[in-house]
Structure 1
């Protein structure tokens, strides 16, 4: 059932018997680049999910909830609309980082169903989810800022570090700009599982349903647990720092 159908996102509740399960589909052109409008519409969709969860009966709330995000075509997301970001500056980066912080600590389990390439900001968006499922037959996931000559600001670097915690993979990811195919992405911890295209959504749904009972009753516990295990990352995402390497001024 479609709950929100905005120009750039569509929110559905695919299973009537499980009203706490949601699928958020990104639809911002073939590359699904993050613009201020897309960021705003994602936040609107999360607001709607919150209100919908709060309105559930006790019986339905006891089943918990979960959120899946996906898109279609060649790209899950090709990152930021970089020309806009460079031109607008903080007015662009700060809403993007707030969105990442909200998703990283979201009140129900989140699963990214990565249907295609996830580069730079698209990679960060995927990493903000609790779990990631990727197509085995197509797509790379990568942080390619080193190749396009753009440094990472503190919050963006933090979200990569908090999910990709093996130093050699982190080095290859950020300093090498390595494009991880599905099998490498699983080994590196970028994604939890790689599956065929026709199994992508069903596998993401399996993860979502398995995890949803952890939020039975929809108390704030799951949100607070995530807030604490990612405290340092959330702090940097919300601090407003957009000066790469600013702490090095005294060296």
Structure 2
């Protein structure tokens, strides 16, 4: 059932028997660039989910819920609309980082179903989710800011750092290594690689299995995520847009 159908996003409930289960489909052209409008519409969709969850009661509330985010075509998201981001500065970056913090701590389990490439801001969006399922036959996930000559804001670096570990983090942010699905699974920041035809079903399997963890409207799950990712959330919400600014006194 369609719940929201905005120009750049569509929110559905694919199973009436599980009213806390949602699919958020991004639809911002071929590349699914993250624009101010897309950020606003994703935020509206999250607001709508919160409102619907608050209205659940009885047996429906005990079933919990989950959120799958996906898109279609060659790109899950090819990153920020960078010219707009540079031109508008905080007006772009601060809502983007607030959106990432909200997804990172969202009250239901979240799954990113990566139908194609997830670069830069698109990679951050994917990493903000609890789980990632990636198309095995085509697509890379990468942080290519080093090649674009763009530094990472403190919160943006933090969300990568909290999900990508060790030498993989170094290769991800310092060399812009493009991880194919099998490599990302081996590195531990993508959970499963499947064929394109299996992607939606695999994401749905995670969603159904994890939905009960949000029983009771997900307040405990939200609080646990907020503490697990406390340092990352603090940086995302601090409003810091000066990369390396903490080193000013060195």
Q: Output the TM-score relative to the length of structure 1.
A: 0.99
Which residue of structure 1 aligns with residue 114 of structure 2?
A: 114
Sort the Cα spacing of 1:12 and 1:179 in 2 relative to 1 into closer, same or farther, 3 A.
same
Aligned-residue Cα RMSD (Å) equals 0.6
Query: How many angstroms does 1:204 deviate by?
Result: 0.4
**How many equivalent pairs are there?**
250
Tell me what 1:155 maps to. 155
What are the ranges of 5 or more consecutive residues in structure 2 without an aligned counterpart? none
Residue in structure 2 matched with residue 39 of structure 1 by the alignment:
39
Aligned equivalent of 2:223: 224
* Inter-CA distance 25–219: structure 2 relative to 1 (3 Å threshold): closer
- Offset of 1:188 from its aligned partner? 1.2
How do 1:166-245 residues align onto structure 2 when only pairs under 5 Å count? 167-245=166-244
Provide Cα deviations, 1:159-216, integer angstroms capped at 9, x if missing partner: 0000112x21000000010000011010112210000011101100100111111111
TM-score by length of 2: 0.99
Does structure 1 residue 94 correspond to structure 2 residue 94?
A: yes
Following TM superposition, the consecutive aligned residue runs of length 4 or more in structure 1 with deviations greater than 6 angstroms are: none
- Give how far 1:219 is off: 4.2
CA distance in 1, matches of 2:218, 2:140: 36
Give me the whole-angstrom Cα distance separating, in 2, the residues matched to 1:219 and 1:144. Answer: 34
* SS of 2:67 mapped into structure 1: strand
Once residues 185 and 85 of structure 1 are traced to their aligned partners in structure 2, the CA distance between those partners, rounded to angstroms, is 28
Deviation at 1:58, TM superposition (A): 1.1
Aligned-pair CA distance for 1:54: 1.1
Asked whether the 8 Å contact 2:108–2:218 carries over to 1, the reply is: no
Give 1:57 deviation, angstroms. 2.7
SS of the residue corresponding to residue 32 of structure 1 reads coil
SS of the residue corresponding to residue 112 of structure 1 reads strand
* SS of the residue 1:243 aligns to: coil
